[in-house]
Structure 1
Amino acid sequence: MQSQTGRLRTPSIHTRTVLVGASLFALSTGLAQFLTDTPAWRFDSPVQYDSDFAVAVGLCWTLFQLAVHRKAQRERERWLMASGAMLLLGAIQATDLLVSSGLIHDDWLLDLPLWMAVATLVHAVLRRGRERPWVAMLWRAGVLLQTVFMLCDLCQGCSLPTWSISAEDIASLAEWSELLAIESYVMAFVLLGRAASSPAMSTRRRPLATGAEARRVYERGHLFQKAIYPPLRLAFYPGVRSVLLVATSIGLVVAIGPAVRRAAGRSLVGQFVDLLVLGLRHGFDPLAYYFQELYRPGRRAEAATYLTRHETKNGLLHLLNALRPAPDAVNEMKDKLRFAARCRHAGLPVPRTLLACDEAGVAWQAAPSDFDRDLFLKPRSGRGARGASMFERVGPLRYRTPDGDTLDLDALVERAGARGHHAPLIVQPRLHNHAELADLADQSLVTVRVLTCLDAQDQPVVTHGLLRILSKLEPGWQRQDEYGIPIDLASGQLGPIRSDRLARCADLYTHHPVKGQPVAGRALATWPALKALAMAAHRTFPHRILVGWDLASTVDGPVLLEGNINLDVMFPQRVHRQGFADSPLGPLLQHHLATLARAYDVD
């Protein structure tokens, strides 16, 4: 079919028309088979002829779609796989001729791998069926009928006297199930091609909120890169994720539900229904439901405004930050030495590295006298405080370890070298908090997470700021919480404190949860300098689109600690109690998601 401009267009076919037409085709086949004396298992029966006809129709349709989408790479690849599936179905039909001509005795061993290959190819083509229920349903029906065919084909020559089923009946059932399986796959392809190409389907009536749009692009663009959340590849196979989602929802309701019911009045059944609706229908992470307090009255509808770890950690942020070519072949932000070198070259303040240890040995980068201070040891490629240790100076070149032992410099270097042989690490001077933050921690460094994103003119914009207090670096607190405090972008004023612990998802603190002093309402005098440093850092790495910068306000001024391109989106939204769609980041992300969608041929 051609449009008035001469371009090939897929005809507009209503779903009901496809389903009714396929039903009439099956009924006419049944009537023809009823009126003939030829058994259905014969290669010259109406069932066999109509199976061949269905394969021919499916092949013509997929080749037509291949021509329609010849200039769209991803669609072209999908319809090339669909054509391959139809050719394999044709090969399966051809094996019947080999049996009837006596060239082979049984085609079951030949049909089995061919049918498995067909099911795999069809599933790869129909991965968008989640937004088109009939497509997914037809694929499942095809797999079920295909299984029936293979079982009956295996049993050909046998009979089931207990049920009074003859070997001929089993052979006929095999051919009928084969026809219906082929017809199911062909209908799925027709509905998918009609839906993918119809202008009415490709143009949404209104744009989705940023969170929902991110999940749409991630799913329809097949942007999965690596199993990070959860770190199990099996969890991303079709059907497994749905089972895990239901199981996770049950576990969360049992563990957290009673506390949420007391805090917000949402019943356990209501929470479970919310989790299933958001998870199964919208692909929303169950943990985010509790972390973002969507159980509170009227807040479930806000789920579309939130991004979750499922889409961001497993591929979306990685590919978003890879849209622009990088000057280095490696992630320069993952390697703290490489990152610090780039920052120093740009004139940005970063912590000094005194020692670097890896499998090659110990590399001194400062004189021994520079070690006569509190020291901080951390992985060279780690994130946050994971694997970090603090060594407190208790005398000239002597240190107290986190477990209470005392070491001299030589013993400390020996210990660092042993650890660095297994996982590279660095030793830096311990930084001390600025006076306006000093009362928020006893020993640890209070860090400031600043999110920046490029705008349409490729200029960085600060979209979020929050203080982070890590309890696990405070031995006297006996807690593992990370506390977050929102920072008003204009005034630098602090808001209420929230914890990252799931058990405290409903808790809000205006005072320090351990030390007790008031926090909400304070204003950071150093906030303008911290914002300026984050902007300067993003200009140093202009090929990155969205970055979470970790900075510190120290007694010597603002210091840049690290940059995160696969940042956690959950905590900033929780701390600000606002989805990214309703924040300054929302319009910027929408712009870049549109670019990502075009890059991966998502309509």
Structure 2
Amino acid sequence: MSDAPGGLGRRLRYLARRAASLNPANVWRIAGAAAPLTRKPRLLIVADMLWCAVRYEFAFQDYLDWDVVMLTAAERRTFITHPKSNHLAMTLNDPQLRRIFADKLQFNARFAEFIGRDWIELRASDADAVRAFLDRHGRAMLKVPDSLSGFGIEKVEASEVVDVEAFRTRAIERRQFLLEGYIVQHPEMAALCPTSVNSLRVITFFDGSELKVLASVLKIGNGGDIDNFSGGGMYTMLDDTGTAHFAAFDGTGATYAVHPLSGVSIVGFTVPLYAEVLTLLDRAARVIPEVPYVGWDVAITATGPVIIEGNPNSGVYQSKPSVSGIREGLLPRYRAAIGF
């Protein structure tokens, strides 16, 4: 793989982009949030953040999420970072076929047998069709087809939609072209946080014959409609059996051994039907083998797992050292599976 993760040329390009988009207030905020883990003055933490961006390609949020301030140089080198993951996605995934994953409308059509829900395209549906869809499902989700990180997702209650044409027009103006039936999750998953579908992010690499799991993550909402960081959600890593051994954490760095709203213990939680998740993804990964590096979002229903979407440029998830005691990242696992 040319200019593999860690290549000097790519680091310099990354540094140039970061310098152009630098937000001093955000850097100062993250340095303050990381400060309790070290005796370093805040200014030195800022300097360390900048050094880590150049030397190891840590994004600033990465620096906070994975407690980089408390890691040694050797430990820092073991972490897969968002820029490294992005390079893998650009190198491994076919640039034309990845568009199917990047567009939720195309993805739903191509992976219809795996998604387990109805959907309609609002631009191609009149008010009567939208009304019938809403009444049939009772609850639905509006989505922007090409959005990331949960942006543009909105829960819809059929009983609250009185003027369907106005609802349809408003959604189209906001580019919420996709209307999906709401996923009713497994009772054990709903118990974690009933306001959102609490999903898995399973990052995989398909080598042409075998599916290799690089990371498995439990994402949990915290009172909002979605479980993403952007919606106030949290995550924790899962082991190979689908069990969480450590507290979850959110985008602010706050940690939760027990869910603050439901009171359900996150530590020790085992995802139901986890073996079926892996079987499902092994089948799905073979649909478009030219896109081998994917972060799959999976919901667990009472009758089995369903795929929410596939991300051809998956985010990165790793254990938080101050919570788990694990001071090694997943880069060695990625290297062993992918071969770079």
**3-state SS of 2:101 partner:** coil
1:292 equivalent to 2:66? Answer yes
Which residue number corresponds to residue 331 of structure 1? 99
1:465-544 superposed matches below 5 A:
465-471=216-222, 473-474=224-225, 480-489=231-240, 491-501=241-251, 503-504=252-253, 507-544=254-291
Aligned AA (1:351): R
Aligned match of 2:145 in 368, 380, 387?
380
Which residue number corresponds to residue 336 of structure 2? 587
What CA distance in whole angstroms lies between the structure 1 residues aligned with 2:106 and 2:127? Answer: 15
What CA distance in whole angstroms lies between the structure 1 residues aligned with 2:114 and 2:287? Answer: 9
1:301 equivalent to 2:301? Answer no
Which residue number corresponds to residue 188 of structure 2? 436
The structure-2 alpha-carbon separation of the partners of 1:413 and 1:485, relative to structure 1 and needing over 3 Å to count, comes to: farther
Contact 1:434–1:553 (Cα < 8 Å) also in 2: yes
Which residue number corresponds to residue 545 of structure 1? 292
Aligned match of 2:93 in 316, 321, 334?
321
1:459 equivalent to 2:210? Answer yes
Higher strand share: 2
The structure-2 alpha-carbon separation of the partners of 1:454 and 1:301, relative to structure 1 and needing over 3 Å to count, comes to: same
**3-state SS of 1:539 partner:** coil
What CA distance in whole angstroms lies between the structure 1 residues aligned with 2:21 and 2:45? Answer: 17
Q: What whole-Å deviation, never above 9, does each CA across 1:248-306 have from its counterpart, x for those lacking one?
A: 5x863x4244443334444435424433432344544343222210112x434322222
The structure-2 alpha-carbon separation of the partners of 1:361 and 1:424, relative to structure 1 and needing over 3 Å to count, comes to: farther
Aligned match of 1:350 in 110, 116, 126?
116
Q: What whole-Å deviation, never above 9, does each CA across 1:333-361 have from its counterpart, x for those lacking one?
A: 122222122223xx4343211x3123x66
1:254-273 superposed matches below 5 A:
254-273=28-47
What CA distance in whole angstroms lies between the structure 1 residues aligned with 2:64 and 2:44? Answer: 13
Alpha-carbon RMSD: 3.5
The structure-2 alpha-carbon separation of the partners of 1:244 and 1:385, relative to structure 1 and needing over 3 Å to count, comes to: closer
The structure-2 alpha-carbon separation of the partners of 1:422 and 1:519, relative to structure 1 and needing over 3 Å to count, comes to: closer
What CA distance in whole angstroms lies between the structure 2 residues aligned with 1:539 and 1:218? Answer: 33
Task: Report the CA distance between 1:509 and its aligned residue.
Answer: 2.3
TM-score, normalised relative to structure 1: 0.49
**3-state SS of 2:69 partner:** coil
1:117-516 superposed matches below 5 A:
213-216=4-7, 219=10, 236=17, 241=18, 248=24, 252=27, 254-296=28-70, 298-313=71-86, 316-322=88-94, 328=97, 331-344=99-112, 347-353=113-119, 355-358=120-123, 362=126, 368=132, 371-372=135-136, 373-393=138-158, 399-400=159-160, 407-408=161-162, 411-421=163-173, 423-455=175-207, 458-471=209-222, 473-474=224-225, 480-489=231-240, 491-501=241-251, 503-504=252-253, 507-516=254-263
Contact 2:236–2:249 (Cα < 8 Å) also in 1: no
Contact 2:243–2:268 (Cα < 8 Å) also in 1: yes
Q: Which fold has the larger relative contact order, with Cα–Cα distance below 8 Å and residues 6 or more apart in sequence?
A: 2
Which residue number corresponds to residue 309 of structure 2? 562
The structure-2 alpha-carbon separation of the partners of 1:382 and 1:268, relative to structure 1 and needing over 3 Å to count, comes to: closer
Aligned AA (1:368): A
What CA distance in whole angstroms lies between the structure 2 residues aligned with 1:243 and 1:348? Answer: 41
What CA distance in whole angstroms lies between the structure 2 residues aligned with 1:495 and 1:382? Answer: 31
Task: Report the CA distance between 1:451 and its aligned residue.
Answer: 1.0
Task: Report the CA distance between 1:560 and its aligned residue.
Answer: 1.0
The structure-2 alpha-carbon separation of the partners of 1:516 and 1:300, relative to structure 1 and needing over 3 Å to count, comes to: farther
**3-state SS of 1:450 partner:** strand
Could you say which structure has the larger radius of gyration? 1
Aligned AA (2:114): L
Task: Report the CA distance between 1:216 and its aligned residue.
Answer: 0.9
Contact 1:257–1:271 (Cα < 8 Å) also in 2: yes
Which has the higher mean CA deviation after the structures are superposed, 300-309 or 521-530? Answer: 300-309
The structure-2 alpha-carbon separation of the partners of 1:472 and 1:416, relative to structure 1 and needing over 3 Å to count, comes to: farther
**3-state SS of 1:547 partner:** strand
**3-state SS of 2:299 partner:** strand
**3-state SS of 2:309 partner:** strand
Which residue number corresponds to residue 60 of structure 1? none
Higher helix share: 1
What CA distance in whole angstroms lies between the structure 2 residues aligned with 1:521 and 1:261? Answer: 29
Aligned AA (1:530): V
TM-score, normalised relative to structure 2: 0.82
Contact 2:203–2:314 (Cα < 8 Å) also in 1: no
The structure-2 alpha-carbon separation of the partners of 1:428 and 1:470, relative to structure 1 and needing over 3 Å to count, comes to: same
Aligned AA (1:543): E
The structure-2 alpha-carbon separation of the partners of 1:412 and 1:382, relative to structure 1 and needing over 3 Å to count, comes to: farther
Identity over aligned pairs, percent? 21
What CA distance in whole angstroms lies between the structure 1 residues aligned with 2:173 and 2:5? Answer: 40
The structure-2 alpha-carbon separation of the partners of 1:272 and 1:338, relative to structure 1 and needing over 3 Å to count, comes to: closer
Which has the higher mean CA deviation after the structures are superposed, 509-518 or 259-268? Answer: 259-268
Aligned AA (2:132): P
Q: What whole-Å deviation, never above 9, does each CA across 1:514-533 have from its counterpart, x for those lacking one?
A: 33221211222311011111
The structure-2 alpha-carbon separation of the partners of 1:318 and 1:412, relative to structure 1 and needing over 3 Å to count, comes to: farther
Which residue number corresponds to residue 93 of structure 1? none
The structure-2 alpha-carbon separation of the partners of 1:273 and 1:301, relative to structure 1 and needing over 3 Å to count, comes to: farther
Task: Report the CA distance between 1:218 and its aligned residue.
Answer: 6.2
**3-state SS of 2:111 partner:** helix
